[in-house]
Amino acid sequence: MLLAQLTDACGGPGHEEQVRNLLRPEVTPLADEIRTDAMGNLIAVRKGPKGNPHVMLAAHMDEVCLMVTSIEKNGMLRFRPVGGIDPRVLVAKSVAVGSKQIAGVIGAKPIHQQQASERERPMPVDQLYIDLGCTSRDDAGRLVNIGDYAYFTTKYEQLNGQLSKGKAFDDRAGCSMLLDLLRRDHNVAISAAFTVQEEVGLRGAATAAYDIQPDLAVALEATAAADTPGAPDHKHATTLGGGPCLTFMDRSVIPNPKLVRRLQTLAQQHGIPFQMRRNTAGGTDAGSISLSRTGVPSAVLALPCRYIHSPVSLLSRADYHHAVELMSAFLHSLAESEVDSL
Amino acid sequence: MDIRRILRSLSASPGISGYEGCAADVIESACPWIDESRRDTLGNLIMLKRGSGPEPRPKIMLAAHMDEIGLIITKIEKEGFVRFTTIGGFDPRVLLAQEVTAHGRQSVHGIIGAKPPHVQDPKERSKTVPLEDMFIDFGFASEQEAAAVLTVGDPITMRRSAVDLQGSYMAGKAMDDRAGAAAMLECLKQLNRMEHTADIYATATVQEEVGLRGAVTSSYGIVPDLAIALDAGFGDMPGVPDSDTIQIGHGPGIAIGPHVHPKLFEAVKRTAEEWNIRYSLEPSPLPGGTDTFAIQVARAGVPTILLSIPVRYMHTPVETLNYSDVAAAGKLLAMFTASVENGFVEGLLCY
């Protein structure tokens, strides 16, 4: 399953090469044209009949990770998060550092040697470090460099029932969905953009959209599910297994209402479960795509994902399947639409 | 037999206090150098390697605890999420976003979760998540689904395979005290090629983390003339003063304190020096934390000593050690136990 390979691969913002290299051979036979741009976006073009709309589908290849910011005298690595990571999830995890994927761990002071008051406060990032088992700066410096990314080492796995476990479902799940969509024939012009640097400000999508000049766009994403104990019902932003999520607004975009309505109607017509995202936090590639050139009508279709931006997250394969079905129905509907109808 | 590889598999084996059967099986099956083995009522694994001296031979007890700290199920929620408490001392801060395995009717894997940060108010985000607010997500959709597999009281272990770091460093769960068990196996392996007078009772004890309990019954049953406990000691790390740690990669720590017999201490130290085995001295003003403390007061009393394998990040799922320390501890144990004869044992009782 490509989703497994895609999530096990490492690709921090600006260093998406592993993911790109997995996708390129898969996409090439499915596309009429393939290109990469100056930022590293991978763009696959499927031609369609003239007169129908040209749709851009975007999924980002990058993931949140850590950056090595200094190598200490004792061989320990100091780091900072790249993208939004709650520092509380970093403690006592294993990581792989740099292009050579050197194994390391983020340790913590033994409970026996702490004051009781220490345990009331989270460990701040500036007190954490990565231990490679090196005993000096020289030792560590031969293996890693300042600026190297460190990644969680979680492996993809299917859990009970319909759930999958892994890191970086945000947004390798989107990449995988986009690939699945390209494998089907929709008789409409599609530019599939596997974008870079979403986690640091939706940056790849901006240049990709400028290049593609789509008539409309949908960002395929993973979004936080908060359907867990401790979160009151009204704060369950999305529910795992409740179907793919449509966004009415997030921090980066107010999706085009006609597009959202069309997706809702299609889901209802085809009996595909879906849910509205009950939260406006976070940003997506749709934000920068919608502002491209003179503007692009854009929407977001996202998979609910528990424990997103942490070392290990969960998604529902039923949601995944329903998201692909809904997007596929949408693409078919475009083949019967005029550009102006949007 | 590569004992480093055995340590890796021991580290991954589940065995929280009271549920050590699996770890015991791994140790026993990795140990062809013994004459007999038995398990006592509490589950201690006692492996005897007979000496070559005439009877009565000195009886040396080696003790490494095979239990690990872990979690236990306290409640299954309506939505299928599972609440838990800790067995042994876990800092709740190391538990978030860990992968775990619950050992119920079958073994199932899950993730420790908490209220997501984006639905926490900023005040909450600057605080530690309390243990009672965490839960485990096994992907069950309902209480009923979860209850078909799991029940209150089922043990849970961290799910993590040991990783090799640079040099001889390794990181993984339960190095406290599977590292001690590995040192004990290293010792038996070396003794197998040596002459030794004494009978060696290599004991993998249970329930150390909840109060040195296995050491109590096993030492009563063995009636040793002297005992050497092997446990994990605090390895040096940033943020902890050097005076409270032993240096990792520089051999085992030899403890000094009320739980250590002075003559035994001198003899073990001398053995290390004779054989050029590196060691650190580990002052232990609070001696209650290892099996040594229980064995010392078994029956009418036992001369005891403690060797410590330096382990960093103790009681986290990434306990880190340098295998050379395990090997050195094993060698020191072998050299010392091979040197023990009746005269030495009698001398221990002369104050």
User: What CATH code is carried by the domain that includes residue A254?
Assistant: 3.40.630.10
CA proximity to A253, closest of A204, A191, A297, A303: A297
A237 touches chain B (CB under 8 A): yes
Amino acid letter at B91? D
Contact across the interface for A91 and B234, Cβ inside 8 Å: no
A124 touches chain B (CB under 8 A): no
Same domain? For A140 and A198 the reply is: no
- The mean pLDDT value for B251-255 works out to 97
Same domain? For B126 and B263 the reply is: no
Contact across the interface for A105 and B318, Cβ inside 8 Å: yes
Report B:144-173 residues touching A (Cβ under 8 A): 145, 160, 163-171
Domain region containing B121: 70-158
Structure tokens at A31: 């596309």
Amino acid letter at A338? E
- Beta carbons of B208 and B294 less than 8 angstroms apart: no
- Please tell me the predicted confidence (pLDDT) of residue B283: 92
Same domain? For B218 and B127 the reply is: no
B285 touches chain A (CB under 8 A): no
Contact across the interface for A102 and B166, Cβ inside 8 Å: yes
Same domain? For A316 and A177 the reply is: yes
Q: pLDDT of A67-108, one tens digit each?
A: 999 999 999 999 999 999 999 999 999 999 998 999 999 999
Alpha-carbon span A213 to A231, nearest angstrom: 41
Domain finish residue from A152, A175, A200: A152
Tell me whether residue B26 is in a domain: yes
Residue B200 phi, psi (nearest 5) = -105, 120
In Å, how far is B45's CA from the nearest CA of chain A? 28
- Please tell me the predicted confidence (pLDDT) of residue A17: 96
Residues of A in contact with B315 (CB under 8 A): 110-112
Same domain? For B82 and B135 the reply is: yes
Q: How would you write chain A as a 3-class SS string? A: CHHHHHHHCCCECCECHHHHHHHHHHHHHHCCEEEECCCCCEEEEECCCCCCCEEEEEEECCCCEEEEEEECCCCCEEEEEECCCCHHHCCCEEEEECCCCEEEEECCCCHHHCCHHHHHCCCCHHHCCEECCCCCHHHHHCCCCCCCEEEECCCCEECCCCEEEECCHHHHHHHHHHHHHHCCCCCCEEEEEEECCCCCCCHHHHHHHHHHCCCEEEEEEEEEECCCCCCCHHHCCCCCCCCCEECCCCCCCCCCHHHHHHHHHHHHHHCCCCEECCCCCCCCHHHHHHCCCCCCCEEEEEEEEECCCCCCEEEEHHHHHHHHHHHHHHHHHHHCCCHHHC
Q: Regarding beta strands B304-311 and B226-234, do their DSSP bridges make them parallel or antiparallel, or are they unpaired?
A: parallel
Q: pLDDT of A189-230, one tens digit each?
A: 999 999 999 999 999 999 999 999 999 999 999 999 988 888
User: What CATH code is carried by the domain that includes residue B274?
Assistant: 3.40.630.10
Same domain? For A233 and A328 the reply is: yes
Same domain? For A180 and A271 the reply is: yes
Same domain? For B251 and B291 the reply is: yes
Same domain? For B199 and B319 the reply is: yes
Interface test with A, best of B11, B313, B315 (most A CBs within 10 A): B313
The closest CB to that of A159, out of B126, B139, B320, belongs to B139
Same domain? For A52 and A80 the reply is: no
Same domain? For B150 and B249 the reply is: no
- Please tell me the predicted confidence (pLDDT) of residue A115: 87
Same domain? For A148 and A255 the reply is: no
The closest CB to that of B316, out of A108, A135, A308, belongs to A108
Structure tokens at A274: 């879906």
Same domain? For B133 and B49 the reply is: no
The closest CB to that of B316, out of A107, A163, A231, belongs to A107
Domain finish residue from A152, A177, A193: A152
C-beta atoms surrounding A229 within 10 Å: 17
Same domain? For A10 and A46 the reply is: yes
B75 touches chain A (CB under 8 A): no
Report B:227-266 residues touching A (Cβ under 8 A): 234, 237-240, 244, 249
Report A:257-286 residues touching B (Cβ under 8 A): 279, 281-282
Same domain? For B266 and B128 the reply is: no
Whether the predicted pLDDT of B152 surpasses 70:
yes
Q: pLDDT of B288-319, one tens digit each?
A: 899 999 999 999 999 999 999 999 999 999 99
Contact across the interface for B97 and A105, Cβ inside 8 Å: no
- Beta carbons of B12 and B191 less than 8 angstroms apart: no
The count of domains in chain B is 2
Alpha-carbon span B145 to A60, nearest angstrom: 35
The count of domains in chain A is 2
- Please tell me the predicted confidence (pLDDT) of residue B193: 96
In Å, how far is B22's CA from the nearest CA of chain A? 23
Tell me whether residue B164 is in a domain: no
Domain finish residue from B101, B128, B158: B158
The dihedral formed by the CA atoms of B140, B143, B148 and B149, expressed in degrees to the nearest 10: 50
- Please tell me the predicted confidence (pLDDT) of residue A1: 67
C-beta atoms surrounding A115 within 10 Å: 7
Contact across the interface for B96 and A230, Cβ inside 8 Å: no
Tell me whether residue A158 is in a domain: no
Cα four-point dihedral sign B166, B175, B319, B96: positive
Same domain? For A43 and A104 the reply is: no
Domain finish residue from B93, B127, B158: B158
Same domain? For B337 and B228 the reply is: yes
Give residue A118's pLDDT band: very low, low, confident or very high (50, 70, 90). confident
Tell me whether residue A243 is in a domain: yes
Tell me whether residue B166 is in a domain: no
Complex ipTM value = 0.86
Tell me whether residue B296 is in a domain: yes
- Beta carbons of B186 and B329 less than 8 angstroms apart: yes
Tell me whether residue A121 is in a domain: yes
In Å, how far is A336's CA from the nearest CA of chain B? 40
Same domain? For B271 and B309 the reply is: yes
Domain finish residue from A108, A124, A152: A152
Same domain? For B22 and B56 the reply is: yes
Give residue A341's pLDDT band: very low, low, confident or very high (50, 70, 90). low
Same domain? For A146 and A185 the reply is: no
- Beta carbons of B168 and B3 less than 8 angstroms apart: no
Tell me whether residue B168 is in a domain: no
Domain finish residue from B109, B125, B158: B158
Q: pLDDT of A147-190, one tens digit each?
A: 999 999 999 999 877 899 999 999 999 999 999 999 999 999 99
User: What CATH code is carried by the domain that includes residue B136?
Assistant: 2.40.30.40
In Å, how far is B221's CA from the nearest CA of chain A? 31
Say whether A198 is catalytic: yes
Of B20, B68, B208, B282, which residue is the catalytic one?
Answer: B208
Whether the predicted pLDDT of B194 surpasses 70:
yes
Whether the predicted pLDDT of A342 surpasses 70:
no
Residues of B in contact with A106 (CB under 8 A): 318
Same domain? For A107 and A232 the reply is: no
Alpha-carbon span A164 to B266, nearest angstrom: 57
- Please tell me the predicted confidence (pLDDT) of residue A340: 67
Same domain? For A79 and A113 the reply is: yes
Contact across the interface for B125 and A86, Cβ inside 8 Å: yes
- The mean pLDDT value for A233-240 works out to 86
CA angle (A188, A192, A198) in 5-degree steps:
145
Tell me whether residue A157 is in a domain: no
Q: pLDDT of A255-302, one tens digit each?
A: 999 999 999 999 999 999 999 999 888 899 999 999 999 999 999 999
User: What CATH code is carried by the domain that includes residue A73?
Assistant: 2.40.30.40
Same domain? For B291 and B241 the reply is: yes
Tell me whether residue A162 is in a domain: no
The closest CB to that of A228, out of B135, B160, B167, belongs to B135
For chain B, give the number of residues: 351
Contact across the interface for A307 and B137, Cβ inside 8 Å: yes
Task: For residue B49, list its beta bridge partners.
Answer: B200
The closest CB to that of A228, out of B90, B113, B140, belongs to B113
Tell me whether residue A203 is in a domain: yes
Domain region containing A288: 2-63+167-341
Structure tokens at B269: 């130290």
A151-155: long-range pairs with CB below 8 Å, 24+: A151/A10, A151/A12, A151/A63, A151/A65, A151/A66, A151/A95, A151/A96, A151/A97, A151/A101, A152/A65, A152/A93, A152/A94, A152/A95, A152/A311, A152/A312, A153/A94, A153/A95, A153/A96, A153/A103, A153/B163, A154/A311, A154/A312, A154/B99, A155/A8
Of A16, A63, A198, A199, which residue is the catalytic one?
Answer: A198
- Please tell me the predicted confidence (pLDDT) of residue B133: 93
C-beta atoms surrounding B44 within 10 Å: 27
- Please tell me the predicted confidence (pLDDT) of residue A306: 95
CA proximity to A31, closest of A190, A204, A174: A190
Same domain? For A287 and A186 the reply is: yes
